[in-house]
Structure 1
Amino acid sequence: MTVLLHPIALDVPARIAFGPGQVATVASLARERGITRSLVVTGRSNAARVGLLGLPGEVAVFGAVEPEPDIANLEAALAMAERVQPQLVVGFGGGSAMDLAKLVAVLPGSGKTLHDVVGPEKVAGRRVALVQVATTSGTGSEAGSRALITHPATRNKLAVQSRHMVADLAVVDPDLTLSVPAAVTAATGVDALAHCTEAFTSRKAHPLIDLYALEGIRLVGRYLPRAVADGSDREARAGLALASLYGGFCLGPVNTTAGHAVAYPLGTRHHVAHGLACAVVFPHTLAFNAPAVPDKTAMVMQALGLAAAGDVLEASHRWCAALGIEMRLSHLGVPEDDLPAMAAEAHAIRRLLDNNPREMSREQILAIYRAAL
């Protein structure tokens, strides 16, 4: 059956405000809805600029979002929500803050715990407004319906997906990303690239999403080197913000594949930032999958400006390294003796690996880790 006959559903925020200055739409929505009590879920660096949101009335701030948030971090945020009883929850930051905000918006008062809603469409509903404001260009979480929380005991990611966690308003204001350091810009930019590439080459790939995926890859190829070289380049920041948003569109109906499965243990076991983990892994999984999807791999390389660059692994690795990304796991604190356990953990992430275009064994994952060491 042609892929055009495969059913697909794309759940996106009710409103997306894109462009410089669009952070002001958060206050407008709050006033329109008569909201007087809000909870902002954010990290420590963004907690100091919550005032940019211009929220009316009482504003509580949960400013302790951790990278790769775990169950304890979520429970602390939920406890604050129970005390505050907000009418509006705002995720303000990168993917960690926005993922946590989704769960804070749906769990309090629902009678359900995190473990009750892990998986697809187990959330009962949402009684508060939800706004997502992205301050990095990478995860695309502002546009998505998924939230990921790390289980501290197993170090696995618990994935919740629900249309009830799609925001009422997603704000993509590239001016909020102007202060992001070059190293973070590079790593998060490759995370957006990975979202688009993995969705584009997935077994679940669909023309409805291919449109966003391929344009997202082109935008990263065009604008990420510029944004890394000059963080004040507003056009480049806007291009990356759009690429990140398109990557978020890819995550709902298609999602990622081997690249993210292989990257996850780097974060959960060794605290490598998610974007950086995805960047280190990206050339290896792109090259691994190339024999299964040669035409689409060629399109990815062309979109990155690497059409005539020869070897997929060497060319894409060089492209990432030229952004200043540290591409060696040994330099990121990953010990060689943990690679077998990491490979076993990654191989168990079937929700992603089962959609990879090429079967990937535990031994092949281990070989990727060793090549990246």
Structure 2
Amino acid sequence: MVSLDSPITVVRPHLIEFGVGTAGKLGAWAAGKGYSRTLVISDTFNAARIDVLQLKGEVSVFSDVTPEPDIANLDKVLAAAEATQAELIVGFGGGSAMDLAKLAAVLAGSQQTLREVVGPNKVQRARKAALAQVPTTSGTGSEAGIRALVTDPETKAKLAVESLHMLADIAVIDPSLTFSVPARTTAATGVDAMAHCVEAFTNRKAHPMIDMYAIEGTRLVGKYLARAVRDGSDAEARAGLSLASLYGGFCLGPVNTAGGHALAYPLGTRWHVAHGAANALIFPHVLAFNTPAVPEKTKAVMEALGYDTSDTVKSVFDAAYAFCAELGIEMTLSGLGVPENDLDAMADDAFAIRRLLDNNPRDLTRTDIRSIYEAAY
């Protein structure tokens, strides 16, 4: 763990609008900037309600965003961005839409290709278009960050791009846009938001400046997630989760996630398990595994979720598992349709994600990873 006097760089969207009913502020902001050509990148459901953004001028919509987007999906987005010559690009949806919007903003009209910008700080020039992010789920925190992920269908690996040029000019976080999210998805994405916070809090690169966001984001999920699952129109609970998701996004830039996300990714890339559901299933296993390395922080996490645990692995696992299972989340790989004969390949894939595993507070060997998948099966 780093100390209080360790250097850290923290970035935020230049403007954040937060609160129920704020979605229309995007249109007012865009008009004030004089933007007349806008491209909204979204999925089919959210594309049908772009009127809430109150955008003026020529508005084009790309509505074919897929969950866990791959390179082919990105290519379609880039073609749309080139065709519209948009002055403003808007990510309107979950993390997939927002990540594709980031990549479109820096790659459209650029001489660089996706392969050339994979990794940290490879984008060479500032983007030509402005970038706005409007989340419609409470999970990824992508509206606040500078990373974007797409899947390479050949290797089934996540390609991660990180650049300050992908930081949004404005993030509009309107919790009312999440009212329609189904209970099961609300549960999974809520745990994903919490996992961002927890993995940053217990991270080898954890920093006191980020810890405050991490533990408060965890507390917000502990307080509000079950309420939102029970009643999707609970405005206070939805706002609490939206804030938790934003705080999770604040954690991702300077610290990032660790072992939990590394083990969750192969579920999405190989078996198309939704990102939130994958993280929720893995969460109790990796939190418990890490307990011996960070017992005090683990205890603080569980207290924030409303559980009084000891510092034993079993105590932590039982409580974390109960938190997820009581939300109605599927907690077995077999229940998600993952075949047992793929566990070895998944372990290989996860073990190769060094950018995250190297952040984990306790070393995760390939054998450890395989054992966790077996236990989760």
Fold agreement, TM-score > 0.5? yes
Question: In 2, distance between residues paired with 1:44 and 1:284?
Answer: 34
1:157-236 equivalences under 5 Å are 157-236=158-237
Q: Which runs of 4+ in 1 moved over 2 A?
A: none
Q: CA deviation at 1:5?
A: 2.1
1:361 is displaced (CA, Å) by 0.5
Which residue of structure 1 aligns with residue 282 of structure 2? 281
- Structure-to-structure mapping, 1:98-117, within 5 angstroms: 98-117=98-117
Q: Give the match for residue 142 of structure 1.
A: 143
Partner residue, 1:44: 44
How many angstroms does 1:355 deviate by? 0.8
Output the CA distance in 1 between the equivalents of 2:156 and 2:12: 30
String of CA shifts for 1:213-246, please: whole Å, max 9, x gaps. Answer: 0000000000001000111110000000000000
Q: Using the alignment, how far apart are the partners of 1:264 and 1:218 within structure 2?
A: 25
Residues 1:295 and 2:299 are matched in the alignment: no
**1:308: Cα distance to partner?**
4.2
- Of 327, 330, 347, which residue of structure 1 is paired with 2:351? 347
| Cα separation, 1, equivalents of 2:246 and 2:309 | 28
Secondary structure at the residue paired with 2:4? helix
After TM superposition, give the deviation of residue 255 of structure 1 in Å: 0.2
- Farther-moved stretch of structure 1 (64-73 vs 20-29): 20-29
Tell me the amino acid that sits aligned with residue 222 of structure 1.
K
CA separation in 2, counterparts of 1:14 and 1:307?
A: 39
Give the Cα–Cα distance (whole angstroms) in 2 for the partners of residues 202 and 339 of structure 1. Answer: 26
Superposed CA deviations along residues 282-329 of structure 1, whole A, max 9, x for unmatched, are 000000000000000000010000114771101110110000001011
Q: Who is 1:369 aligned against?
A: 373
SS in 1 for 2:17: strand
Query: Partner residue of 1:260?
Result: 261
- TM-score, length-scaled by structure 1: 0.99
- Which residue of the partner structure matches residue 59 of structure 1? 59
Larger mean CA deviation between 86-95 and 300-309 belongs to 300-309
Structure 2: runs of 5+ lacking an equivalent: none
Q: CA RMSD in A?
A: 1.0
Quickly say closer, same or farther: Cα 1:235–1:40, change in 2 above 3 A: same
Give the count of matched residue pairs.
373
Structure 1: runs of 5+ lacking an equivalent: none
The Cα offsets for residues 239-276 of structure 1, whole Å up to 9 and x where unpaired, read as 00000000000000100000000000000000000000
Q: Distance in 1 between matches of 2:7 and 2:297?
A: 22
Q: Contact 2:142–2:249 (CA<8 Å) still a contact in 1? A: yes
Q: Percent identity?
A: 65
Structure 2 CA distance for aligned equivalents of residues 2 and 87 of structure 1: 41
Cα deviation digits, residues 28-62 of structure 1 (max 9, x gap): 11111111100000011111111111111111100
